[in-house]
Chain A
Amino acid sequence: MDGITPDLIILQLFTGLALGAIYVLLALGMSLLFGMLTVVNFAHGAFYMLGAYIGIVLLGIGLNFWMCLLFVPLVVGSLGLLAERFLIRPLYGRGIDYPLLLTFGLSYMMVECVRIVFGTQGLPFDTPELLQGASDIGIGYFPTYRLFVIGVAAMVLVLLWLFLERTPYGLIIRAGARDPQIVRILGIDVGRVWLVVFGIGTGLAALAGLLAAPLQGASPEMGNSILAEAFVVTVVGGMGSLVGAVIAGLLVGVVVSMTSLFQPEMAQVSIFALMAVVLLIRPQGFFGRAGLMS
């Protein structure tokens, strides 16, 4: 294939990282829920989609995009709290497949509700004015908004890390994940910890959906395909590992990007090929603990 210059390859690599940033945000929330709660959240894609639609609603009542970045995760996170309290909580301790099936059904209901309220066609979502157009990044032009997405993802990572590693509440969450029994004996309400974690996880999904909306508009089905990709990222990174989610997210982005440079029609398959290879060599993923699923 001619016309492939080093500049193009670097630009392509960069495109992959930008693509990976959205995967990272989505997989982080998923990994958080699995690592802490052992909930495999099949409704994660639906919460992602909801993020985009709540964004449209908030923009409609006069908020701007920057305020949406704060309020959308809060609104959807609150819905996540309700889902945890009334739907997921009764299923704790019944095995991993109960919440899995429940969230699977929940995702169908959420998508259908959005179709009823907002229509099947999808809605436009304009890129915020400040971030429109392309910027020169030295090797070529790159959409300003995608640079912004990378920035937001990095910031969320830092905040999440500080929260989990440097606050007393983060300590409780980590302790609760390791041994809920002991934490409970120490007099801490583990139920509330899990509630908060579920809220954070769904809030992260909503943020990812809001960030994706200016890239592709909002549609009821937008969470379906990316859910599969987010699962691949969590599995490759290791179920429950946050570091794994970050590294695998970026890696998947780069693999898709480089494959599409040489063989575009293989791009989507390449994600699953990567997963197959990783699972063969390291069944628990990059940073996963072996036997967590059993």
Chain B
Amino acid sequence: MATSKLTRRSVLAATSILAMPAVLRAQDATIKIGFPVPLTGPYGTEAKDQVACAQIAIDDFNAAGGLAGRKAELLVRDDKLNPGEAATRTLELIEKDQVNFIAGSLSAAVQLAVNNVAKQRGVIFNSISQSDQITALPDWSKTTFHEAMTPHLTAGAVGRYAFSKFGKKVVFLRADYAYGDEMVDGFKATGASMGIEVLADLKHPLGMTDFSTLLPRIQSLKPDMLVLCNFGRDQQISIKQATDFGLKKTTKIVAPILLYTSRVAVGPAAFEGVIGGTSYYWGIEANTPSAKIFNDKYRKANGNKLPSDYGALGYAGVRSILDACLRAGSVETAKVVTALEGAKYDSYKGGQEMRSCDHQSVQSVFIIESKSKDMINEYDVFNVLATDAANADNLRSCKDEGHA
């Protein structure tokens, strides 16, 4: 030991001096928000719109002076709609890019993978796609937030509207994975008290391109309502083929989430008269001032186009975090968590509240119907039939989710 001048104290001192610039840099540097979304793959269109919308939130924040001069920056990564890829990208964002926060993801499984990485490293993650699991234990953590709606909330709102209007005899057709299962559970939970009769509950594999073999059977059951718990192209194709089979003559077609981009992709004829729910439709701007402001910003930044439902969530997810930073006056995780918990805000769709116990955003659900005539422009695709107002009673209770 005598030969070495290296003592514990000197090592510590040296390390702290070396580490100091890094600490100083972290405080001056931009606020980095990692944004893993599936830019490639079947939900690429939605993902790109999420990026466009998230960028609006960043630009607004910076234009208003940032956090005492600290500007924000969006780090977009392609998760390819793959949980493994998403986990790797998230890990890189945290370890290599040293992001302060994570927002994003567009699939139940992917957001759970992102959340898993973020929570292990104590980084705030604000998820912008549907899942019941993420707000419940064991997936949930103190740094997990959920800006999007949950299947329980969505299916509940659509179910309450549809079961009371179109009849009680129901056939479910679900994509055989978490999304379909959670949606059907949500409908059944709501339907039980309304006395619905489930004639059949059919499953189809994800990514099916021909539903013709399921349709004669559904037709022969003569349901009042066919509830399609599938997403993206599965939804587009199943609605189109059900229309071709003449199912709409006797049966109302209902989808928990009627996607703006799907409707635009398939065209008015196939979606005519289909009912569903959505977290956002630009048309609410007529009587929602915050939506008008958001749409105008989007129009300005994107050549007069209009934001999609999932796109708008990209804006909300990033904005919630940045607003919380402003309220906290800091980017420190603990302070921002406190600022987010219980926050009441109206950033784009009317009043919302980040419920303290499970970090789920309490929000309204819009019941929409696809339009096929009297459309004022190419974006005018839905009528808003009803608004299921923001109400924590429509969510799963925190006790059900396993919170103390």
A residues near B (Cβ < 8 Å) are 3-5, 8, 11-12, 15-16, 18-19, 115, 119-124, 126-127, 132-134, 140-143, 145-146, 212, 215-217, 219, 221-222, 225-226, 256-257, 259-261, 264-265, 267-268
Q: How many residues of B contact A (CB 8 A)?
A: 38
Docked complex Cα distance between A4 and B218 (Å): 11
**Inside 8 A of A123's CB, which chain B residues have their CB?**
265
Question: Nearest Cβ in chain A — how far from B171, in angstroms?
Answer: 11
Please judge, given known A-B contacts A222-B209, A265-B176, whether A8 and B216 are in contact too, CB under 8 Å: yes
Residue-wise interface mask of B (184-225) relative to A, using a CB-CB cutoff of 8 A (1 in contact, 0 not): 000000000000000000111101111011111101110000
Docked complex Cα distance between A126 and B268 (Å): 10
Are A140 and B216 in contact, CB atoms less than 8 angstroms apart? yes
Are B244 and A5 in contact, CB atoms less than 8 angstroms apart? no
Question: Nearest Cβ in chain B — how far from A197, in angstroms?
Answer: 28
Question: Nearest Cβ in chain B — how far from A200, in angstroms?
Answer: 25
Are A267 and B213 in contact, CB atoms less than 8 angstroms apart? yes
Please judge, given known A-B contacts A226-B209, A260-B214, A265-B204, whether A3 and B266 are in contact too, CB under 8 Å: no
- Choice from A124, A141, A212, A225 contacting B246 with Cβ under 8 Å: A141
Docked complex Cα distance between A141 and B250 (Å): 12
Docked complex Cα distance between A3 and B204 (Å): 20
Question: Nearest Cβ in chain B — how far from A145, in angstroms?
Answer: 6
Question: Nearest Cβ in chain A — how far from B248, in angstroms?
Answer: 10
Are B45 and A121 in contact, CB atoms less than 8 angstroms apart? yes
Nearest B-chain residue to A14, judged by Cβ: B216
- Choice from A4, A120, A145, A257 contacting B213 with Cβ under 8 Å: A257
Interface pairs (28), CB distance under 8 Å: A3-B221, A8-B216, A11-B216, A15-B213, A15-B215, A19-B210, A119-B45, A121-B44, A121-B45, A122-B233, A123-B265, A134-B244, A141-B245, A143-B245, A145-B244, A215-B240, A215-B241, A216-B209, A216-B210, A216-B237, A216-B241, A225-B207, A259-B213, A260-B217, A264-B202, A264-B213, A265-B176, A265-B203
Whether, in the assembled complex, B40 has its beta carbon less than 8 Å from a beta carbon of chain A, the answer is yes
Are A217 and B236 in contact, CB atoms less than 8 angstroms apart? yes
| Apart from the given pairs A120-B40, A215-B237, A217-B265, 17 other A-B contacts in the complex at a CB distance below 8 Å | A12-B213, A15-B212, A19-B212, A121-B44, A121-B264, A121-B265, A124-B270, A143-B241, A146-B244, A217-B233, A217-B236, A217-B237, A225-B207, A259-B213, A264-B203, A264-B204, A267-B204
**Inside 8 A of A11's CB, which chain B residues have their CB?**
216
Are A120 and B240 in contact, CB atoms less than 8 angstroms apart? no
Whether, in the assembled complex, B351 has its beta carbon less than 8 Å from a beta carbon of chain A, the answer is no
Question: Nearest Cβ in chain A — how far from B48, in angstroms?
Answer: 8
**Inside 8 A of B204's CB, which chain A residues have their CB?**
264-265, 267
**Inside 8 A of A140's CB, which chain B residues have their CB?**
216, 219-220
Whether, in the assembled complex, B267 has its beta carbon less than 8 Å from a beta carbon of chain A, the answer is yes
Whether, in the assembled complex, B69 has its beta carbon less than 8 Å from a beta carbon of chain A, the answer is no
**Inside 8 A of B221's CB, which chain A residues have their CB?**
3
Whether, in the assembled complex, B42 has its beta carbon less than 8 Å from a beta carbon of chain A, the answer is yes
Within 8 A of A (CB), among B72-131: none
Docked complex Cα distance between A19 and B265 (Å): 23
- Choice from B214, B233, B241, B264 contacting A264 with Cβ under 8 Å: B214
Question: Nearest Cβ in chain A — how far from B257, in angstroms?
Answer: 16
Whether, in the assembled complex, B261 has its beta carbon less than 8 Å from a beta carbon of chain A, the answer is yes
**Inside 8 A of A260's CB, which chain B residues have their CB?**
213-214, 217
- Choice from A119, A216, A222, A261 contacting B217 with Cβ under 8 Å: A261
**Inside 8 A of A143's CB, which chain B residues have their CB?**
212, 241, 244-246
Docked complex Cα distance between A267 and B233 (Å): 18
**Inside 8 A of B176's CB, which chain A residues have their CB?**
265
Question: Nearest Cβ in chain B — how far from A120, in angstroms?
Answer: 3
**Inside 8 A of B205's CB, which chain A residues have their CB?**
265, 267-268
Nearest B-chain residue to A131, judged by Cβ: B244
Are A12 and B216 in contact, CB atoms less than 8 angstroms apart? yes
**Inside 8 A of B213's CB, which chain A residues have their CB?**
12, 15-16, 19, 256-257, 259-261, 264, 267
**Inside 8 A of A16's CB, which chain B residues have their CB?**
213
Which of B44, B213, B236, B270 counts the most chain A CB atoms within 10 A? B213
Question: Nearest Cβ in chain B — how far from A215, in angstroms?
Answer: 7
**Inside 8 A of A18's CB, which chain B residues have their CB?**
212
**Inside 8 A of A216's CB, which chain B residues have their CB?**
209-210, 236-237, 240-241
Docked complex Cα distance between A146 and B136 (Å): 46
- Choice from B40, B220, B269 contacting A5 with Cβ under 8 Å: B220
Docked complex Cα distance between A289 and B45 (Å): 46
Nearest A-chain residue to B222, judged by Cβ: A3
**Inside 8 A of B236's CB, which chain A residues have their CB?**
122, 216-217
**Inside 8 A of B40's CB, which chain A residues have their CB?**
120
Closest 7 A-B residue pairs measured CB to CB?
A120-B44, A124-B267, A134-B246, A121-B45, A260-B213, A143-B244, A257-B213
Please judge, given known A-B contacts A119-B45, A268-B205, whether A134 and B210 are in contact too, CB under 8 Å: no
**Inside 8 A of B217's CB, which chain A residues have their CB?**
3-4, 8, 12, 260-261
Docked complex Cα distance between A127 and B245 (Å): 12
Nearest A-chain residue to B42, judged by Cβ: A221
Nearest A-chain residue to B41, judged by Cβ: A120
Within 8 A of A (CB), among B169-183: 176
**Inside 8 A of A3's CB, which chain B residues have their CB?**
217, 220-221
**Inside 8 A of A4's CB, which chain B residues have their CB?**
217
Are B45 and A120 in contact, CB atoms less than 8 angstroms apart? yes
- Choice from A120, A126, A142, A256 contacting B269 with Cβ under 8 Å: A126
Docked complex Cα distance between A123 and B45 (Å): 12
Please judge, given known A-B contacts A225-B209, A256-B213, A265-B176, whether A122 and B245 are in contact too, CB under 8 Å: no
Question: Nearest Cβ in chain B — how far from A220, in angstroms?
Answer: 9
**Inside 8 A of A146's CB, which chain B residues have their CB?**
212, 244
**Inside 8 A of B233's CB, which chain A residues have their CB?**
122, 217, 219, 221
